[in-house]
Amino acid sequence: MKNLQAIKQRFGIIGNSPLLNFAIETAIQVAPTDVSVFINGESGTGKEAMPQIIHHSSARKHNPYIAVNCGAIPEGTIDSELFGHEKGSFTGAHESRKGYFEEANTGTIFLDEVAELPLSTQVRLLRVLETGEFIKVGSSKIIKTNVRIIAATNVNVSKAIKEGKFREDLYFRLNTVPIAMPPLRERQEDIHLLFRKFASDFAEKYRMPVLKLDDDAVELLCTYRWPGNVRQLKNIAEQMSVLEKERVINRDTLSNYLPGYSKSQLPVLIPHEEKIDEDEKDMVYKILFDLKNDITDLKSLVVGILQSNSDNIDLNESNSALLHRIFDKPTNEGFQSYSNKGNSIQMPLTPSEEIYKPAEKIEDHTELNESLKLADREKELIIKALKKHHNKRKYAASDLGISERTLYRKIKEYNI
Cα 186 to its chain centre, rounded Å, is: 18
Helix, strand, coil share of the chain (percent; to 5): 50, 10, 35
Pairing of strands 177-180, 37-40: parallel
pTM over 0.75: no
| Nearest alpha-carbon partner for 256 in 248, 267, 244, 265 | 244
95: exposed, middle or buried (C-beta count within 10 Å: 0-12, 13-18, 19+)? exposed
CATH 1.10.8.60-classified regions of the chain: 185-255
Residue 97 DSSP one-character state: B
CATH 3.40.50.300-classified regions of the chain: 2-87+94-182
> CA-CA distance, 394 to 408, in Å (whole number)?
10
Identity at 260, one-letter amino acid code: G
70: exposed, middle or buried (C-beta count within 10 Å: 0-12, 13-18, 19+)? buried
CATH 1.10.10.60-classified regions of the chain: 371-416
CA neighbours closer than 13 Å in the CB half-sphere of residue 263: 6
CB of 112 closer than 8 Å to CB of 69:
yes
| Nearest alpha-carbon partner for 150 in 113, 182, 123 | 113
CB of 237 closer than 8 Å to CB of 211:
yes
> CA-CA distance, 136 to 175, in Å (whole number)?
26
> CA-CA distance, 278 to 280, in Å (whole number)?
5
CB of 70 closer than 8 Å to CB of 113:
yes
| Superfamily name and number for 2-87+94-182 | P-loop containing nucleotide triphosphate hydrolases (3.40.50.300)
Identity at 189, one-letter amino acid code: E
Name 343's bridge partners. Answer: 340
Q: Please state which architecture CATH assigns to domain 371-416.
A: Orthogonal Bundle (1.10)
User: What is the dotted CATH code of the domain comprising 185-255?
Assistant: 1.10.8.60
- pLDDT, one tens digit for every residue, the chain (416 residues): 558 999 999 999 999 999 999 999 999 999 999 999 999 999 999 999 999 999 999 999 999 999 999 999 998 899 999 999 999 888 888 899 999 999 999 999 999 999 999 999 999 999 999 999 999 999 999 999 999 999 999 999 999 999 999 999 999 999 999 999 999 999 999 999 999 999 999 999 999 999 999 999 999 999 999 999 999 999 999 999 999 999 999 999 999 999 887 544 544 444 444 445 566 666 677 788 778 777 887 877 777 777 665 555 444 445 555 555 554 544 444 445 544 445 554 555 444 444 444 444 444 444 444 455 667 778 888 888 888 888 888 888 888 888 887 887 888 888 88
> CA-CA distance, 314 to 219, in Å (whole number)?
71
> CA-CA distance, 172 to 161, in Å (whole number)?
11
